[in-house]
């Protein structure tokens, strides 16, 4: 794992650095691909964990609301031989944009023409359900089109032949809600994790391509792996903002138009700024390297000059020693001659030696 000042960068520290410190993107770009993918898996785990929790909150409210509505507003329910009758075929329609099911329609005596109109209306919602005499029609935001399920196909796997309103109430009261919620949460978590991870991975690849193109335009030779890593961390802030928006929207119903455009724009800005920050850092390092090389050249020249000066001094001292050596024999010869001379007496004759 990438290190900072000799210490490993933890998961939450990475989140902070990817949002706050553009200078850190140079380090992220140089790390192994496995490290950035591990980070992506981690942040998507946190994201989906919260989103699945929000979904369960919505499901709980919708389920309790549906049970209350069923008890208070459904007077008659009868199912037999694969056909359902609710309130003698009268139409019931519920619309709630903040619910798990935004559109619910019950009409067990609907004609084929009415069913087509209901389906067209269902397609205007992200999710909803239509309950008819012999089938249900279901749609959610992940499906390109609505799905139909016939009652006879459903009960083929269950020992159910008929039931009435009291039977439905008894069935609901006997449900282990904790086990039901846990099961639904696990299923939704796996489902949402796969969906969100796949779409986010596509976003990362697109950001990686954008970063690679921008780097080439800026005159930088950079590998796609590096721009892919940058794309992973550039999505950190948009993912967190999206998570906050989902929570606020669920709790308050507050909506932001064109939020998806803002999500994309922020990630693009992060990639572009990160690329140019890396380029500026590279230029600064090159300039610093040139200054170091110049300083090293100056030091080398100074060392050469000192060495030459030292050699000159040695040659000078050597020449001086040679001159002294030549002068010394002459002086000894002169001293020898002076030693051989004897002093003269007053007559100009040398005195006789005394034995």
pLDDT tens-digit readout, 115-144: 999 888 888 888 888 999 889 998 877 666
Residues 107 and 250 in one domain: no
- The better pLDDT of the pair 265, 349 is held by 265
Decide which of 287, 313, 337 is a domain's last residue.
287
Average pLDDT over residues 179-184: 89
CB-based contacts of 134, cutoff 8 Å, min separation 6: 82, 83, 84, 150, 151, 152
Average pLDDT over residues 99-109: 84
Lowest mean pLDDT among 13-22, 45-54, 161-170, 339-348: 339-348
Residues 103 and 241 in one domain: no
- The better pLDDT of the pair 195, 305 is held by 195
Instruction: Compute how many other C-beta atoms are within 10 angstroms of the C-beta atom of residue 335.
Output: 9
Residues 190 and 261 in one domain: yes
CB-based contacts of 168, cutoff 8 Å, min separation 6: 70, 77
Structure confidence at residue 301 (pLDDT): 77
Indicate the number of domains in the chain: 2
Asked whether 232 and 202 are in contact (CB, 8 A), the reply is no
Structure confidence at residue 329 (pLDDT): 58
Q: Return the residue matching tokens 């001379």.
A: 341
Structure confidence at residue 308 (pLDDT): 77
Residues 280 and 192 in one domain: yes
Q: Which of 33-42, 212-221, 300-309, 332-341 has the highest mean pLDDT?
A: 33-42
Is residue 17 in a domain?
A: yes
Strand partners, 60: none
Q: Which of 152-161, 314-323, 344-353 has the highest mean pLDDT?
A: 152-161
Decide which of 287, 315, 347 is a domain's last residue.
287
Structure tokens at 275: 């690329």
Q: Return the residue matching tokens 């999710």.
A: 127
Confidence category of residue 49, pLDDT binned at 50, 70, 90: very high
Rounded CA-CA distance 37/42 in Å is: 9
Structure confidence at residue 347 (pLDDT): 53
Rounded CA-CA distance 149/89 in Å is: 19
- The better pLDDT of the pair 299, 213 is held by 213
Average pLDDT over residues 320-344: 56
The upper half-sphere exposure of residue 145, i.e. CA atoms within 13 Å in the direction of its Cβ, equals 3
Q: What is the mean pLDDT of the chain?
A: 81
Structure confidence at residue 189 (pLDDT): 94
Is residue 329 in a domain?
A: no
pTM: 0.68
Q: Is residue 24 scored above 90 in pLDDT? A: no
Residues 213 and 275 in one domain: yes
Structure confidence at residue 286 (pLDDT): 60
Decide which of 242, 272, 287 is a domain's last residue.
287
Structure confidence at residue 353 (pLDDT): 45
Confidence category of residue 42, pLDDT binned at 50, 70, 90: very high
Structure confidence at residue 166 (pLDDT): 86
Residues 142 and 231 in one domain: no
The percentage of the chain sitting over the pLDDT mark of 70, rounded to a whole number, equals: 82
Q: What are phi and psi of 276, to 5 degrees?
A: -70, -30
CB-based contacts of 342, cutoff 8 Å, min separation 6: 350, 351
Lowest mean pLDDT among 46-60, 82-96, 208-222, 311-325: 311-325
CA distances, 9 to each of 1, 18, 44, 69, 223 (Å) = 7, 11, 18, 52, 23
Is residue 294 in a domain?
A: no
Residues 246 and 283 in one domain: yes
Average pLDDT over residues 98-125: 86
Residues 184 and 283 in one domain: yes
Rounded CA-CA distance 67/249 in Å is: 24
Q: Which domain holds residue 205?
A: 3-53+180-287
Confidence category of residue 256, pLDDT binned at 50, 70, 90: confident
pLDDT (tens digit per residue) in 282-295: 666 666 656 766 67
The percentage of the chain sitting over the pLDDT mark of 90, rounded to a whole number, equals: 25
Residues 211 and 131 in one domain: no
């Amino acid at each position: 794992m990438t290190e900072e000042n000799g210490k490993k960068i933890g998961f939450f520290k990475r989140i902070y650095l990817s949002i706050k410190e553009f200078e850190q993107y140079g380090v992220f770009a140089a790390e192994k691909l496995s490290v950035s993918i591990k980070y992506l898996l981690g942040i998507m785990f946190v994201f989906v964990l919260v989103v699945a929790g929000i979904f369960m909150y919505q499901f709980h409210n919708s389920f309790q609301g549906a049970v209350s509505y069923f008890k208070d507003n459904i007077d008659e329910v009868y199912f037999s031989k694969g056909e359902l009758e609710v309130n003698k075929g009268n139409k019931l329609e519920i619309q709630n944009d903040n619910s798990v099911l935004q559109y619910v329609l019950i009409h067990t005596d609907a004609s084929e023409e009415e069913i087509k109109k209901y389906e067209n209306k269902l397609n205007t919602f992200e999710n909803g359900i239509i309950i008819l005499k012999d089938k249900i029609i279901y749609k959610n935001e992940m499906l390109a089109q609505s799905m139909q399920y016939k009652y006879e196909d459903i009960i083929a796997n269950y020992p159910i032949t008929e039931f009435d309103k009291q039977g439905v109430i008894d069935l609901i009261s006997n449900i282990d809600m904790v086990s039901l919620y846990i099961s639904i949460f696990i299923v939704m978590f796996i489902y949402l994790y796969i969906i969100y991870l796949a779409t986010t991975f596509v976003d990362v690849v697109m950001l990686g391509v954008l970063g690679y193109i921008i780097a080439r335009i800026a005159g930088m030779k950079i590998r796609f792996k590096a721009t892919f890593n940058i794309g992973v961390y550039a999505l950190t802030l948009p993912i967190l903002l999206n998570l906050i928006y989902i929570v606020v929207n669920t709790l308050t119903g507050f909506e932001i138009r064109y939020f998806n455009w803002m999500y994309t724009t922020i990630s693009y800005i992060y990639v572009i700024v990160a690329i140019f920050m890396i380029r500026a850092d590279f230029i600064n390092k090159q300039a610093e390297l040139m200054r170091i090389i110049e300083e090293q050249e100056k030091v080398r020249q100074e060392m050469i000059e000192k060495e030459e000066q030292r050699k000159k001094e040695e040659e000078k001292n050597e020449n001086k020693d040679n001159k002294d050596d030549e002068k010394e024999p002459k002086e000894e010869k002169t001293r020898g001659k002076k030693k051989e001379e004897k002093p003269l007496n007053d007559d100009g004759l040398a005195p006789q030696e005394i034995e």
